[in-house]
Structure 1
Amino acid sequence: MNISNHILGFPRIGVNRELKKAQENYWNKKISQKELLKVGKKIRIYNLKKQKKMGLDFLSVGDFSWYDHVLTTSIMLGNIPKRFINENQKKIDIDTMFYIARGVSHNNKETFPSEMTKWFNTNYHYIVPEFNKFSSFNFNCSQLLIEIDEALLIGKKVKPVILGPMSYLWLGKVDSKNFNCLNLLPKLLNVYREIFKFFKKKNIKWVQIDEPILSLELSDFWKEKFIYSYKYLKGYTKKLLTTYFGNISHNLDVVNSIPIDGVHIDIIYGNYDLLTFNEILSDKILLSLGIINGKNIWKSDLLKYYNIIKNFKKIRKNIWIGTSCSLLHIPIDINKEKKMTDKLKSYFSFAVQKCYEVFLLTNALNTGNIDLIKSWIFPLYSKKNKLNFNNKNLKKRLSLITEKDYKRCNEYRVRIKKQQKKLNLPIFPVTTIGSFPQTRDLRNLRLKFKENRINKTEYENNIFNIIKYNIKKQEELEIDVLVHGEPERNDMVEYFGEHLDGFLFTENGWVQSYGSRCVKPPIIIGDIFRSKKITIKWIKYAQSLTKKPVKGMLTGPITIFLWSFPREDLSYKIIIKQIALALKDEINDLEKNNINIIQIDEPALREGLPLNIKKRKKYLKTAINAFKLSVSSVKDTTQIHTHMCYCEFNDIIESITNLDADVITIEATRSRMDLLKCFKNFNYPNSIGPGFYDIHSPNIPTEEDILKLIYKSTKFIEVNKLWVNPDCGLKTRTWKESEKSLKNLVSAAKKMRLIKYS
């Protein structure tokens, strides 16, 4: 029996970020909805044709989304929060989706968007489904029907991709502690039945039903409902139960108890012992092996996997070859990199090339001919092409690290008194997270410098002028702790990668983070160290313009690591330590230049948490030590801030405390401060800025609304430990939006000071 192949999903942004550009033009009323839909169709057809050309047996459909795939599922299931349903609205359309994701302003009334959080252990964000006892569901098949019909015209077997009912409920949020989302299962499963009936009518043979929560530790009750759900959905079309990001061996009792036709496992991040797993898994089930890494961009060692599976297929006949997860987490096509040398390109495999790797491995296993895969992996084995990883000075420095290097001189309660005396900040101090609006003029300035149309002096003078403007604006707004605004930075990770040794950059290696937001992760290709100062010039200049404190702004070691594509030949612990030491040097130089507040952002800390609970302690120790290694040598009077956003804090609150940052700023606006409950329950000892302005929504927060949120925050956080700030950086917002919002933020803080002092 020949082995079939497939992928779990393809990037949806377009090879030149066409979707991002079209979305933003539509939101700004520069194009019509018809024009937006046309762009989406063009991207989908391109994706399908590429997959067919690369030799895939199945074309995956349903992996496209106008914002994110969880929100797409909510729309498909008719699960629309009541506040977004207009009485006069005749249908749920693409605008409804954007309103849920971004909020909407109508007749001077602001409707706040649904919450956004991280998709398991990735930097991809999804819009959190909302559930209550009145939630209802109905099948909206229009988008899925369009995509299936498009794929059928391409002329290959079609495999729809949908998020399974159990994972969908798990990922959502209920409006009351007294309500269990599993109470909605009967209603929800009736809609999933309709979906499968729809697939049967379209003559679909296989459907990929994603249930990534099987990699988590599920309670007996959730397991019981899992089994109930799939027994209820028995029949109609063949179901490939799809899992990724971790190992599901601990939940095989569930898998073996439900009527499914196949199961997909993530070989890369699940660390499976295939022989042991095969003994436990029912022999009636097709096994899809996620062998091609969907989260990193290095070429796969196809010969290694060929030898493993060649022997395994003698034991288990019915197998498929696939990617470990959806390819939405990597760039689209390495061939779009025009400036990268052929030698460097030969190490990497983007989404299009990953599809080809799936074909190459399948072809070799079916024919026994390994010539093509030998040719493909030649750069990985060739001594001539080997990359050089051996910085002796850095290796020695790493070997000299001791436990003392992970500790500051004194505890927070001692440090904060010294900091208050030096900084003399008011109660409810106001600050921003770091970046200010990245205007079109600013982006054009950086582009001109990049393309050598202006020289370094012209470029830097312009950047200095923008910093001067930013400082002046903040002083006019009466913000207490200022930032330089980061005009010199393209992205919070890419910028630091560009100024550290050991990184490689792409021109077009874009990856979707959420909605229209794309990032271009650097590639870690060597040993990482700081050979020159990075931020000192800009921060020192900003501080010279004002008597108020200006924050030094850095991205933390964990975030730089996780938001890059790491090398695979070295332990992640060593790579993270290398980054931490480089940042330590920068932090020490900032302090020497009289920068008394330094912010080291770690928004990815929660993201790196392994799905397997047993592995979390090890990861968290590495992450915490890296942060502490970078800041440990500063004086007590230097105040260390960190920033985290869009994650659940309950299961890492102890680790956040162990970071021992003097101030942590988080995102709590969309949750209406509910996130702060865990900080109160844990009795978090240090200072917190919860975030009172949702910068991912175009809505302008009113002074009244901010006041309500600050007042609510005082129920969870001590008044003398509470900071007032936006949720995140302002780079994606306009100056008009930012100025109005910050004015309201400062005004609300001032009123709270009067309330608390009176």
Structure 2
Amino acid sequence: MTGQKSAAQVTASVIGYPRIGKQREWKKALEAYWAGKSDYSQTVTELDRIEAERLQHLADAGLNYIPVNDYSWYDHVLDQSVTFGIIPERFRQSLAAQIESCSQLDAGQASIPQEVADLAFAIARGTAQHPASEMTKWFNTNYHYIVPEWSGQEPQLLVNLPLLAVKRAKQVLADREAVLKPVLIGPYTFVRLMKGIPAAERSSVIAKLTPVYVQLLQSLAAEGVQVVQLDEPAWIWALNKEEQQQVQATYDALRQAVPSLDLWVQTYFEAVADYNFVTSLPVNVIGLDFVHGKVRNEANIKQHGFPADKRIAIGVLDGRNVWRTDLQAVVTDLEQTIEPVVAKERWIVQPSCSLLHVPLALREESKLPQLMVDALAGAEEKLVEIVTIANALNDPSAANKELLAASNAAVQAWRTAPERQRPQVREALKDIHQDEKLLTREAFQERLKLQEQRWPQLPVLPTTSIGSLPQTLDVRKARQRFRKGEWDLAAYTEYLQAEMKRWVEIQEEIGIDVLVHGEFERTDMVEYFGEKLDGFVFTQNGWVQSYGSRCVKPPLLYGDIAFRSAMTVEETEFTQSLTKQPVKGMLTGPVTILNWSFVRDDLSREEVSYQLAWALRQEIIALEEAGIGMIQVDEPAVKEGMPLHADDAVHYRKWTVDAFRLATAGVRSDTQIHTHMCYCDFSDMVDLIRDMDADVISLETARSGGDIVEAFSRNHYELGIGLGVYDIHSPRVPSVEEMEQCITRALEVLPARTFWINPDCGLKTRGEKETIEALKNMTEAAARARKKLAEAAAAPSHS
């Protein structure tokens, strides 16, 4: 496959592409296999078919470079861990025979062998004997990767998944003119993402991995591969001198080992921190983000130039949002800012990052207004945009200029559309920082006293859950019947109330202290609120992978946000009427709604967050007026949205806190505000969490092994806190003893008076049987911990 345009032309590429298929066929195939409803032969046939269809579509789009090995059956980081034999110790012991068989595979095959897939699934999902590996956010996105675990193991090319991907692609695209571009995580980023490597030891681990990278690249070159993309998004952070020396040595070794191979290093999500160092490396192509890192990357190019012996891959379309790009503005900007420094024949145009983060296609959404459809661009539409830019740069014909003008007209029509504007909302928020009462409550210790008086029946170490309860097939079918009009509102309400009543009884029988209504009426924690607020619309098929086979359908936040009427009061008030135990009201917080939506690109995210907070404030007051005294406002995505450059993060921290307080500070002192965060490293967020001033925050700690406890051991924290004692993203049910150990460890650094016990996230995706068993173990662990506290309090002092 040659696929190169003639020497003096701009070429087109993408960094990565969605995996899931138009109807989420990928998800369905995986879940059928995990459930035992299809055998491996059927599964691999279907997953290979989806990959082949994807490759053909990329080739049909007219790209010059087609990514391979970015198609994963679970997670590309996990795939690389398996490729390099970075297997967690617990699985190396229990699955030793399976791992050995992975290293003895038939060199001529192309499909992924079952033992390899099952090994990856065990690491990602856990087994009956061992918990799953930790999962966390991919930089500041809502994509979750499986964190590699380093324990000093010797890296090896255990199974060459990139080579298998190339072989499959060559079978599919044998007659196509395009260059296959295997995608790997670069050595520095791969090590930077690993768990178990102190910063001072990163360089030594990179050195250990270098020979394996060399072996892998040599195998790809032997297969006829011409270019390999090495993703180094971690270069947005500064490397110390030792790290720079090791990265230089590693890339020197790669260059010497495969002199015929074009090495393409790709950065994204922001500007690189060490521009001169990065551009000095012995590689052929350097990819830079000119959307989220536009200001800094352009400044670096203007100040320092760009090497004459390298090509530049220019990220000009937003790979993380769904709004159509003004292609005329892009072409003009490139010609004014990049062409004076880098000649066009060395340009490769592409999106800013992998298109994994956007839906596959959006122009087929038949239920949206045509004006909005014309303003949208999913992955398929972005392929057209990127090829249009390349064509227009290569051939400024009247036809191509007309395409650019049409793009500009469509974007301008959307930006000025009157249905997006609500002046009364902007007027209400113009002076929010001038009124201190809007953002502050009474001091926590005073609130705590009043809350303890309001709920004297709560024991020390009260138990609760995060909010959602299992959504069975029956629940999903009931929601579909209502949406299709088969049930009227009365029938649907009757069904929901029966489920709430059943689960109140289950929670009371288990012994949960603070109950939840279960959120059976909600498909998604953001979509539910977006449907009830002005300023949102929803797609039918705008699915995006979040983790594993879990896909989400982010709403489109297109205009000014306005509160219409109460959104959660009816269900919460009904559930509270069934029990004497407190029931929490459950809301999604403003910053999470912001970060888990595709947000308009004509206002600052700060301004949009205040609009969301103002609407939620009205809902929270409505819950309080209905007698609900505990209200949880979940903010799992605060860390996810944090800018990656420290200077930018300072302002973000300020306005996220202000948005949360704007939403929650309107309640009485004896109303208890809870919040929840999960699947991020919170060690650097203790101050932000404190500033949010929630009465109780629950944090994930189960998969991370309680690492967050270390952060609280270094920082005094006086507000209420619950550290999740078991992982809900795995079907495994931990024992009472495991949960008790989590509680005991946390109580070494946190006061029992303000400590809560809960799972680490919502239970929506779990089965009823395992949920009930796990919650029973949790309440038993809490009972044992209370007993130990009582015994310690009663023991005579030896002072």
- Shared fold per TM-score greater than 0.5: yes
Give the conservation status (yes or no) of the 8 Å contact 1:552–1:599: yes
Give the conservation status (yes or no) of the 8 Å contact 2:726–2:739: yes
Which of 191, 194, 214 matches 1:193? 214
How big is each residue's C-alpha offset from its partner over 1:262-312, in whole Å with a ceiling of 9 and x where there is no partner? 110111100236365154232222111000110000001100011122343
Comparing 43-52 with 400-409, greater Cα deviation is found at: 400-409
Quote the Cα distance in structure 2 between the aligned partners of 1:130 and 1:441: 39
What's 2:101 paired with? Answer: 91
Q: Quick one: which amino acid aligns to residue 382 of structure 2?
A: K
Quote the Cα distance in structure 2 between the aligned partners of 1:654 and 1:632: 18
Quote the Cα distance in structure 2 between the aligned partners of 1:247 and 1:81: 33
What's 2:159 paired with? Answer: 140
Q: Quick one: which amino acid aligns to residue 461 of structure 2?
A: F
Give the conservation status (yes or no) of the 8 Å contact 2:166–2:180: no
Q: 1:560-571 to 2 correspondence within 5 Å?
A: 560-571=593-604
What's 2:268 paired with? Answer: 244
Quote the Cα distance in structure 2 between the aligned partners of 1:383 and 1:563: 22
Quote the Cα distance in structure 1 between the aligned partners of 2:743 and 2:81: 31
What's 1:421 paired with? Answer: 453
Q: 1:49-64 to 2 correspondence within 5 Å?
A: 49-64=56-71
| Percent pairwise identity | 37
Comparing 396-405 with 579-588, greater Cα deviation is found at: 396-405
How big is each residue's C-alpha offset from its partner over 1:658-704, in whole Å with a ceiling of 9 and x where there is no partner? 00111110110112212211122111221211101110111111111
Q: What SS is found at the alignment partner of 1:626?
A: helix
Give the conservation status (yes or no) of the 8 Å contact 1:379–1:385: no
Quote the Cα distance in structure 1 between the aligned partners of 2:130 and 2:23: 33
Q: 1:538-557 to 2 correspondence within 5 Å?
A: 538-557=571-590
Give the conservation status (yes or no) of the 8 Å contact 2:126–2:133: yes
Q: Quick one: which amino acid aligns to residue 11 of structure 1?
A: P
Q: Tell me: CA distance 1:405–1:67, structure 2 relative to 1, closer, same or farther (3 Å).
A: farther
Q: 1:96-111 to 2 correspondence within 5 Å?
A: 96-105=119-128, 110-111=129-130
Q: Tell me: CA distance 1:162–1:387, structure 2 relative to 1, closer, same or farther (3 Å).
A: farther
Give the conservation status (yes or no) of the 8 Å contact 2:363–2:374: no
Q: Tell me: CA distance 1:320–1:88, structure 2 relative to 1, closer, same or farther (3 Å).
A: closer
Quote the Cα distance in structure 1 between the aligned partners of 2:84 and 2:275: 28
Quote the Cα distance in structure 2 between the aligned partners of 1:143 and 1:58: 16
How far did residue 557 of structure 1 move? 0.3
How big is each residue's C-alpha offset from its partner over 1:13-72, in whole Å with a ceiling of 9 and x where there is no partner? 111111111111111111111222112211111111111222211111011111111101
Which of 540, 543, 549 matches 1:510? 543
How far did residue 179 of structure 1 move? 7.7
Quote the Cα distance in structure 2 between the aligned partners of 1:144 and 1:505: 39
Quote the Cα distance in structure 2 between the aligned partners of 1:617 and 1:14: 39
How far did residue 134 of structure 1 move? 3.2
Q: 1:534-683 to 2 correspondence within 5 Å?
A: 534-683=567-716
Q: Quick one: which amino acid aligns to residue 98 of structure 1?
A: F
Comparing 233-242 with 660-669, greater Cα deviation is found at: 233-242
Q: What SS is found at the alignment partner of 1:364?
A: helix
How far did residue 403 of structure 1 move? 4.3
What's 1:9 paired with? Answer: 16
Give the conservation status (yes or no) of the 8 Å contact 2:202–2:243: no
Cα root mean square deviation, aligned: 1.7
**Paired positions, count:** 752
Comparing 605-614 with 46-55, greater Cα deviation is found at: 46-55
What's 1:71 paired with? Answer: 78
Q: Tell me: CA distance 1:381–1:672, structure 2 relative to 1, closer, same or farther (3 Å).
A: closer
What's 1:116 paired with? Answer: 135
Question: Are residues 1:292 and 2:317 paired?
Answer: yes
How far did residue 717 of structure 1 move? 1.4
Question: Are residues 1:269 and 2:297 paired?
Answer: no
What's 1:728 paired with? Answer: 761
TM-score, structure 2 as length reference: 0.92
What's 1:344 paired with? Answer: 372
Q: 1:304-453 to 2 correspondence within 5 Å?
A: 304-311=329-336, 312-317=338-343, 318-369=346-397, 370-382=401-413, 386-401=417-432, 402-424=434-456, 425-453=458-486
Give the conservation status (yes or no) of the 8 Å contact 2:69–2:165: no
Comparing 353-362 with 404-413, greater Cα deviation is found at: 404-413
Q: Tell me: CA distance 1:230–1:403, structure 2 relative to 1, closer, same or farther (3 Å).
A: farther
Q: Tell me: CA distance 1:275–1:148, structure 2 relative to 1, closer, same or farther (3 Å).
A: farther
Quote the Cα distance in structure 2 between the aligned partners of 1:457 and 1:147: 55
How far did residue 147 of structure 1 move? 4.0
Quote the Cα distance in structure 1 between the aligned partners of 2:423 and 2:200: 58
Give the conservation status (yes or no) of the 8 Å contact 2:363–2:381: no
Give the conservation status (yes or no) of the 8 Å contact 1:48–1:151: no
Q: Quick one: which amino acid aligns to residue 171 of structure 1?
A: L
Q: What SS is found at the alignment partner of 1:100?
A: helix
Give the conservation status (yes or no) of the 8 Å contact 1:265–1:289: yes
Give the conservation status (yes or no) of the 8 Å contact 1:433–1:728: yes
What's 2:32 paired with? Answer: 25
Quote the Cα distance in structure 1 between the aligned partners of 2:786 and 2:300: 63
Quote the Cα distance in structure 1 between the aligned partners of 2:414 and 2:654: 36
How big is each residue's C-alpha offset from its partner over 1:391-430, in whole Å with a ceiling of 9 and x where there is no partner? 1221221124234145333111111111111112111100
Which of 190, 204, 210 matches 1:168? 190
How far did residue 186 of structure 1 move? 2.6
Q: Tell me: CA distance 1:164–1:143, structure 2 relative to 1, closer, same or farther (3 Å).
A: closer
How far did residue 445 of structure 1 move? 0.7
Give the conservation status (yes or no) of the 8 Å contact 2:633–2:675: yes
Quote the Cα distance in structure 1 between the aligned partners of 2:19 and 2:647: 34
Q: Quick one: which amino acid aligns to residue 125 of structure 1?
A: H
TM-score, structure 1 as length reference: 0.97
Q: Tell me: CA distance 1:494–1:548, structure 2 relative to 1, closer, same or farther (3 Å).
A: same
Q: What SS is found at the alignment partner of 1:452?
A: coil
Quote the Cα distance in structure 1 between the aligned partners of 2:415 and 2:320: 27
Question: Are residues 1:257 and 2:277 paired?
Answer: no
Quote the Cα distance in structure 2 between the aligned partners of 1:684 and 1:384: 45
Quote the Cα distance in structure 1 between the aligned partners of 2:441 and 2:363: 51
Quote the Cα distance in structure 2 between the aligned partners of 1:627 and 1:151: 51
Quote the Cα distance in structure 2 between the aligned partners of 1:129 and 1:384: 43
Give the conservation status (yes or no) of the 8 Å contact 2:328–2:407: no
Comparing 300-309 with 42-51, greater Cα deviation is found at: 42-51
Quote the Cα distance in structure 2 between the aligned partners of 1:575 and 1:729: 26
Quote the Cα distance in structure 1 between the aligned partners of 2:352 and 2:438: 36
Quote the Cα distance in structure 1 between the aligned partners of 2:312 and 2:415: 38
Q: Tell me: CA distance 1:152–1:721, structure 2 relative to 1, closer, same or farther (3 Å).
A: same
Gaps of 5+ in 2: 1-7, 103-115, 792-799
Q: What SS is found at the alignment partner of 2:118?
A: helix
Q: Quick one: which amino acid aligns to residue 53 of structure 1?
A: D
Quote the Cα distance in structure 1 between the aligned partners of 2:354 and 2:545: 12
Q: 1:697-736 to 2 correspondence within 5 Å?
A: 697-736=730-769
How far did residue 313 of structure 1 move? 2.7
Quote the Cα distance in structure 1 between the aligned partners of 2:467 and 2:396: 56
